[in-house]
Chains A and B, each alone.
Chain A
Amino acid sequence: MTQLEDSKIIALFYERSEQAIAELEQKYGAAIRKTAANILISKQDVEECANDTYLGAWNTIPPQNPNPLLSYVCRIARNLATMRYHRNTAIKRNGQYDVVLDELEECIPSAVNLETEYEAKELSAAISRFLDTLKYEDRFFFVRRYWYADSISDIAAMTHFDSHRISVHLFRTREKLHHYLRKEGFLG
């Protein structure tokens, strides 16, 4: 099955053609659902999140002209999934994503007090700068684990690295990130 180039899918959005949704789903539907499924347990939640993602793309393109399109729609899916996750977990915790957040709290502890949206964006930018300094595989492991919320075994399957080795790399990266954020003045 032929997949359209990103620019052609975006052109369909600009033409307000509903074919844009079909093409987006065909090309990136699996990635969108996987992103949501790593955070949400319920299949129904995942499907609703995917549909909301297509709607989010429809509502924002135009004026947005995202490049790359993949990370744009995955970001929408992730944001919707985490909102739904936090709403759901007011009742019950979800094992996998909770483990991911627990791990992140090791290096970005609750002592960090971000009072403004600007400070939060600065912290995101600092994490991006830190990721730029990592080897490719360490950056890949980190983003897959903490952005895509993949399980260690999923990352192992993608990379053919041993699960234990990935855990060790992630552990060291979290330590380095903690050290980096301290040096950058984000941690007291």
Chain B
Amino acid sequence: MRREQLSIIISNIDDGQIAEAYEFNSAVLGRSPERITYMSRKRIIIFALAAALIFAFGTAAYAAGWFAPIFHSIRYNVPEVEDRRPGSEEYYAELEGKNAVMEAAEQYMNEQQPAPETVSLPELDNCEITLLERYYDGRTLVLGFHLESDAPQFAATYDNEEEIREKATTIAFADSVENDDIDTLEPVAYDEIMASRSDNAVEHGLCHVSSIVLDSMLFHELSPEEYEAAWEHLLETGHLCVVRNDLYVSDHILMEDGTDLGQTYSVPVYESLAVQSGNVFFEAPELPDAAQGLDSLSFQVNVRIVRSFYYMELDGSTWYYSELVSDAFVPFCVDNAER
């Protein structure tokens, strides 16, 4: 496609979207089209009753509000018929079908109230996975999980730095930066990155994109004391390693015999699929034949911890190494709601 054509195509996006982006409105920050923020009075009462009942059955965490309801918050944005764009009937029909499943799932949770199941995983930094909500109608499986871990997502570490340096072979690029060589960077992009440097990065002359980005990550993710300690270590020894732990549920959900339940759509209810503490929603809309029409479906989810090591030397060299540290398969079962 010619670049002129690309310009025109982007130019012709919806007027409302252009107007919306004229000014930033922090009041709607985080609002997702999958979420409905409106809650009717009737629904509030239903949830209050459900919470009280669950508390009575001893699932104190749920009732205490640790876990936000997931199915309730998942709806796909389907415009009114008169506002729909022509030629997209199939797309809207697909979304309406998903919404119908989610409404049935929410109703099932309200009526049947299957108790949340929590499994502790000491081998995974003592994390806990809770199957908070579940629904299976013989054709579709939808699941809402809560993951909890005390392990910090970011930590500056000073152990085994040399060992990690030996393993690390991939330079830690910033997203969309394919080459850290200053001479090959687009001048404008490089100017922007240089302008975003922290005081420490300016003072000590960091000029490689990867090290500037790594320093920015440290600045935002560590406490001020940890950040200062990390820089002290960097200045003393000339190198530093930062570890990022990503705890997540794999989007490959398996039957007991290992059959993959197929393409899974996931919506992290919180910011990122990799969560230390948060809710994750999965929808498997096209189950394989072996998983359809059963009285109950037994399945296992794979909980994983991936550890990424960002190694940095004061002269600007920055390296990246990532490995699967541990994982566990956790079995669950869901009854067919239509039986």
What residues make up the interface of A, taking CB atoms closer than 8 Å to B? 31, 66, 68, 70-72, 74-75, 78-79, 82, 85-86, 95-96, 98-99, 101-106, 108-114, 120-125, 127-129, 131-137, 139-140, 143-144, 146-148, 151-153, 156, 158-160, 162-165, 167-168, 170-171, 184
**With A101-B3, A163-B196 given, is the CB distance from A143 to B9 under 8 Å?**
no
| Interface flag for B77 (CB, 8 Å) | yes
The A-contacting residues of B in range 39-96, CB under 8 angstroms, are 76-77, 79, 85, 87-88, 91
Given contacts A82-B7, A121-B12, 10 further A-B contacts (CB under 8 A): A95-B186, A101-B7, A104-B6, A108-B1, A114-B1, A127-B10, A128-B14, A133-B76, A139-B21, A143-B20
What residues make up the interface of B, taking CB atoms closer than 8 Å to A? 1, 3-26, 28-34, 76-77, 79, 85, 87-88, 91, 174-176, 186-189, 192-193, 195-196, 213, 216-217, 220
Of chain A, the residue at the smallest CB distance from B3 is: A101
CB of B175 within 8 A of CB of A151, answer no
CB of B87 within 8 A of CB of A72, answer no
Q: How far is the CB of A82 from chain B (nearest CB, A)?
A: 4
Of chain B, the residue at the smallest CB distance from A128 is: B14
Q: How far is the CB of A183 from chain B (nearest CB, A)?
A: 10
CB of B9 within 8 A of CB of A124, answer yes
Interface of A is mostly: helix
8 Å CB contact of A133 from B22, B23, B25, B77: B77
8 Å CB contact of B29 from A82, A108, A127, A136: A136
Q: How far is the CB of B279 from chain A (nearest CB, A)?
A: 15
Q: How far is the CB of A101 from chain B (nearest CB, A)?
A: 5
B5 partner residues in chain A, CB cutoff 8 A: 114, 120
**With A75-B11, A171-B176 given, is the CB distance from A129 to B91 under 8 Å?**
yes
CB of B20 within 8 A of CB of A140, answer yes
CB of A136 within 8 A of CB of B85, answer no
7 contacts between A and B (CB under 8 A): A70-B19, A99-B189, A127-B9, A133-B34, A147-B10, A167-B175, A170-B176
Cα of A116 to Cα of B5 in the assembled complex, Å: 11
CB of A151 within 8 A of CB of B33, answer no
CB of A143 within 8 A of CB of B195, answer no
Counting from the closest, the 10 A-B pairs by CB-CB distance are A143-B21, A124-B12, A71-B18, A95-B188, A128-B14, A171-B175, A82-B7, A71-B19, A68-B19, A71-B15
A86 partner residues in chain B, CB cutoff 8 A: 3-4, 7
CB of A164 within 8 A of CB of B15, answer no
8 Å CB contact of A164 from B9, B23, B216: B216
Of chain B, the residue at the smallest CB distance from A162 is: B220
Of chain B, the residue at the smallest CB distance from A142 is: B21
Q: How far is the CB of B221 from chain A (nearest CB, A)?
A: 10
A101 partner residues in chain B, CB cutoff 8 A: 3, 6-7
